[in-house]
Structure 1
Amino acid sequence: MTTELSNDKNAHVVDALRTVMDPELQLDVVALGFIRSVDVEHNPIKVKMVLTTPFCPYGPMLVKQIKDAAEKATDSEAHVEVLHEQWNPEMMEDPTLFGFF
């Protein structure tokens, strides 16, 4: 998990993002390491994320759910940026969940 996620100010947003599940992998987007940073110091709130692949068919749905969860947690507007960095299992909170390591 990045430092930006472990910040106390961001904890309530990160907790809200744990309710967003990847429909294929059946884990939340925080546990999977999709969420790279959360910034609640600005308006709109900024969430940076990655996807398993640039062509992820669930990408638009996940972005909307992440945006909605962040906005609900803070009662303010959120902007979700999908980074060009590609996801890999080492980004997970616990990479052993899928037996990768």
Structure 2
Amino acid sequence: MSPLREKAAEVAIRDALRQVIDPEVGLNIVDFGLVYRIELSSRRLLVEIAMTSPACPMGELLRDEVRAVAREVAPTNVPVDVALVWEPPWSPTMMSDAAHEVLRWPLH
């Protein structure tokens, strides 16, 4: 897959991940800033996500949902890996402007 096609596929995957809603805040994980990395190659699709805190009880549930959504849009025969990461720690500055408006939190 060419770098241009990989980039277009990564954008499509990010868009698809907007279907995954953080149940604690009711926002999709992309706008909430929980998707840290999407990397697609011919060998695999890697999606790195974070939680708002290590004590978040939703980690495994969100990982499973991310894996299912990513699998639907990933190229055929490309394994999907979803990693839960903690660095850098999540903060409200990672949220999109739209998420700040919905939650009525001050913009970064």
Decide: shared fold, TM above 0.5. Answer: yes
2:22 paired residue number: 22
Residue identity in the other structure for 1:34:
L
- 1:42 is displaced (CA, Å) by 4.2
1:91 paired residue number: 94
Q: Distance in 2 between matches of 1:96 and 1:89?
A: 12
The 3 A distance-change label for structure 1 pair 42 and 49 is farther
1:80 aligns with 2:82: yes
What is the Cα-based RMSD across aligned positions, in Å? Answer: 1.4
2:3 paired residue number: none
Stretches of structure 2 that go unaligned for 5 or more consecutive residues are 1-6
Aligned pairs for 1:1-101 (under 5 A) are 7-74=7-74, 75=76, 76-85=78-87, 86-94=89-97, 95-101=100-106
Normalising to structure 2: TM-score of the pair?
A: 0.79
Whether contact under 8 Å (1:43, 1:78) holds in the other structure is no
Stretches of structure 1 that go unaligned for 5 or more consecutive residues are 1-6
1:18-75 CA distances to partner (integer Å, 9 max, x unpaired)? Answer: 1000011000000101001101124320001110111111110001100111111114
Normalising to structure 1: TM-score of the pair?
A: 0.84
Q: Aligned residues, how many?
A: 95
Give 3-state SS (helix, strand or coil) of 2:82's partner: strand
Whether contact under 8 Å (1:50, 1:84) holds in the other structure is yes
Give 3-state SS (helix, strand or coil) of 1:18's partner: helix
Residue identity in the other structure for 1:44:
R
Q: Distance in 1 between matches of 2:104 and 2:92?
A: 10
